Structure 1
Amino acid sequence: MTQLATTTIHARQPAHPSRWPRRLPYLAAAWSLAYGAVALAWTMSGRGFPLGENDPEAAMSLLQGLPADTGAPLFAAVALAGAGVGLLMARVRHVPATGRYAALGFGAATAFAWLLLVPDTRVLALVGYLPMAIAVAPFDAELRDSFADAIDGVILNHAAVLVGGFLWAATTVVFARRTAGACEHCGRGAGTPGWMTRTSARRWGRSAVGVAVAVPALYALTRWVWVAGIPMGIDESLHEDGMASGDLWAGAWLGTFGLVGGVLTLGLVQRWGEVFPAWMLGLRGRRVPVKLAVVPAAFVAVIVTSGGIGLVKAGLSDGAIRLNWTEWAAIGPALLWPLWGVALAVATYAYYVRRRGQCTACGKDDEPLSPPQAVTTGERP
């Protein structure tokens, strides 16, 4: 009898532990020094600060109206202080509890500010419309010009602070691990908390995935109902104007982008998110690299959260969120975006916990590895 061939999947680990945990504080310090020097130039010259009162399209930015003579020196002070703190984090191995908490508080606050408070919805919009621009722009000069105009000083600044924010988030985590006596690479110490095991992470990761899929699905549903000609949850005159100008199609595209992201989010708890499925020729049966899922998901989680905060800010611009039965869809689904971003971050971390395996630096593991699984490829011997 002919039997289907199977491929045994084994987890692969690098031969030597990475040196990135030791390098991260230096990189965070270097970034802070460079950005601080730029901010100091804004302060000394009185020109160049791209945010706040100098940003004409800051309606959804938390920094709207920030005076340049306040914002520039504030950014310079925070960044230059970060250069010093980063070097201390790189060099210090033993620190008193007070100093440790102070450093951790600075690192966490800095990462939070650079990642979530300074960027706004324009980063998310640019990323969301990028696939459309790549597909259509070669044939549409107006779209090319519009996309080029969107990449201005504000966007470049947002890109820079996102890099710094991720560096500071990773640096703070590494410092917290090291000063707590845990492994810098994986964070494991004397014991692994019950909620951090693979079994527990699978459970709470599924709940997070459910939220991270439902929110963009609701947003996409409302936008596609609009372009189908149904003014559900929106003022009829606004719907007519949006249909006439074509603006509603932009929302439908962004909703589709979010829906595709929601489908990919399912991979964080599905088998095809761990092993490439059979239809992916050349890759089928191979393990999905952990970073291939974690890195883009973490990036999207951040820009969705920061963009969602901007949408909530816009919704509160009149002092209250005005939601009613006739206009709920215009702002209602977007107000859930911070929840979407946080849920995606939690789901991504759960995926990482389940997939990280035995640490190559300390040799510890959360729980015994399950036996290798056989994946049917459909090929005959």
Structure 2
Amino acid sequence: MTVPVVAHLRPRSPGSRGQLWVPPAAALWVTAYAVVHAWWALRGAPRFAEPGESFFPGGWLPVVPAVLSAAAILLISSGVERDRSTSVRWTLAVLGWVSGVSMVLYSFMVPLTLLMILGGLFGMDLDAMDWVTLLAQGSGALGGALTIVTANAEQRRARGACHRCGRVHGRRPEGRDAPTPSWAWFAGYLTVAACLARFTAERVHGFLSSKAPEIPWTFMITFVVLMLLAGTLLPLALVHRWGRIWPGWVLPLAGRKVPRWLVAGPGLFVGAGLTTYFGIAGMTAWATGDNVDGPAWFLAVVLPAYTLWGLGLLVAAGSYLSLTKPECTLSRTSAPRAVSR
């Protein structure tokens, strides 16, 4: 009797030995984060620089996802080599993703704090407590990222995917020439539409108005050009083949692979920034009527447009990263083969 067998279905994870430090380090980190924030909830938090450690309320709120993250990491790492059911692995993976993303969202203002500190190093007023804010936010963001890494590894095991590249070999073509999924293509063009809607609203409202006359025109024009590129050229590069393989008109590089992080890096950075700043902070402030200037129609167009712009870039960048993964050395040996019993 001939039965198809997938050799990579339950790998013993030899390629992941170098990452054995991640689960214990992640569990220790998020546990320390939870303990410190629990102490602050009981005894009082330090004085953070404006706008504070998080856009969300403090107290016990950051402790909850940190405790869940620690539990998810410990449960996942304790069952790496065990024969767990797929449903249990999926449950733990979802728990890790939800708790990890929650920690990242709570600390999403860490880039703004970092910019403030960099500004202080270049002559702007620097509040010494900015460093405390940066440490608190950075700890939460790092703890969430480590939790997501652990959850993603468990998700691969639940899918029966390759432990090295995350693909399920043999299911679909592997390479940069593979077609972009329809959902990613839709996300890319939704990003372009949102960008155009945002700038159209700005044009009607008063493009480059005199709200900030101290900003030099050269800086403003450079900023607008970069934003237009991030809303048009960048999403199109994420979902078209020429964003993965240099097209023929780029004569010195034609036919070569585009460095994946040259495109995916800006997509993830801009997408995350727009989604968190406008999608979370901006939309919440608008809904509560808290310190948001502009006509109602303008805000009703611009804030959702920025949010869709950010989400579209994140989705398209995720597809791009999947399509541009390096060739896996196990793909030749893990393809389904027939054996006789």
TM-score (norm 2): 0.69
Residue in structure 1 matched with residue 188 of structure 2 by the alignment: 209
Instruction: Give the secondary-structure state (helix, strand or coil) at the position aligned to 2:180.
Output: helix
1:56 positional shift: 4.5
- Other structure's SS at 2:330 match: coil
Residue number in structure 2 paired with 1:14: none
Q: Contact conserved, 1:124 with 1:304, CA < 8 A, in 2? A: no
- Distance in 1 (alpha carbons) for counterparts of 2:107 and 2:281: 9
Unpaired runs of at least 5, structure 1: 1-17, 231-239, 367-381
Q: How does 1:145-164 map to 2 (within 5 A)?
A: 145=124, 152-164=131-143
Structure 1 residues 148, 273: CA separation in 2 closer, same or farther (over 3 Å shift)? farther
Following superposition, the deviation at residue 103 of structure 1 comes to 1.0
User: Residue type of the partner of 1:174?
Assistant: A
Alpha carbons of 1:160 and 1:279: their partners in 2 closer, same or farther (altered >3 Å)?
Answer: farther
CA distance in 1: counterparts of 2:88 and 2:267, whole angstroms: 33
Residue in structure 2 matched with residue 30 of structure 1 by the alignment:
25
Deviation at 1:143, TM superposition (A): 6.5
* Higher RCO, 1 vs 2 (CA within 8 Å, ≥6 residues apart): 1
Classify 1:251/1:85 alpha carbon distance in 2 versus 1 (closer, same or farther; 3 Å): farther
Offset of residue 269 of structure 1 = 3.4
2:74 to 69, 73, 84: 84
Distance 1:277 1:180, change over 3 A: closer
**1:181 matched residue in structure 2:** 160
Superposed CA offset, 1:278-311 (max 9, x none): 8989866542233443344334433332222221
What secondary structure sits across from 1:95 in the alignment? coil
Q: Report the alpha carbon displacement of residue 313 of structure 1 after superposing the two structures with TM.
A: 1.0
Matched letter for residue 36 of structure 1: T
> Aligned AA for 2:70?
L
Is 1:119 aligned to residue 113 of structure 2? no
Inter-partner Cα distance in structure 1 for 2:28 and 2:264? 28
- Equivalent runs, 1:193-204 vs 2, <5 Å: 200-204=179-183
How many percent of aligned residue pairs carry the same amino acid? 22
- CA distance, structure 2, for counterparts of residue 335 and residue 251 of structure 1: 23
Seen in structure 2, the aligned counterparts of structure 1 residues 229 and 175 have a Cα distance that, compared at 3 Å, is closer
1:171 CA displacement: 2.6
Cα deviation, residue 347, structure 1: 1.1
What secondary structure is seen at the aligned counterpart in 1 of 2:332? Answer: coil
Contact 1:188/1:364 (<8 A) preserved? no
**Residue 84 of structure 2 corresponds to which residue in structure 1?**
95
- Compute the displacement of 1:25 (Å): 6.7
Q: What amino acid is aligned across from residue 244 of structure 2 in structure 1?
A: E
What letter matches 2:67 in structure 1? Answer: A
**Is 1:359–2:328 an aligned residue pair?**
yes
Unaligned runs of 5+ in 2: 1-12, 336-341
CA distance in 1, matches of 2:266, 2:63: 33
- The corresponding residue for 1:309 is 280
Return the alpha-carbon distance in structure 2 between the equivalents of residues 281 and 200 of structure 1.
24
Equivalent residue number for residue 167 of structure 1: 146
* Superimposed CA distance per residue, residues 312-367 of structure 1 (whole angstroms, 9 cap, x where no aligned partner): 11111149x999xx54224631233332232112212322343336432233899x
User: Offset at 1:247?
Assistant: 11
Aligned to 2:329, the other structure's residue is in SS state coil
Structure 2 letter corresponding to 1:81: A
Matched position secondary structure for 1:298: helix
Task: Tell me the residue number matched to 1:233.
Answer: none
| Map 1:229-378 → 2, pairs under 5 A | 242-243=211-212, 256-262=225-231, 263-270=233-240, 272-276=242-246, 286-307=256-277, 308-318=279-289, 326-330=295-299, 332-356=301-325, 358-363=327-332
What is the root-mean-square deviation in Å for CA atoms of aligned residues?
A: 4.7
Residue correspondences, number = 318
Distance 1:49 1:248, change over 3 A: farther
Distance (whole Å) between structure 2 residues aligned to residue 329 and residue 60 of structure 1: 27
Contact 1:357 1:365 in 2 (8 A): no
TM value normalised by structure 1? 0.63
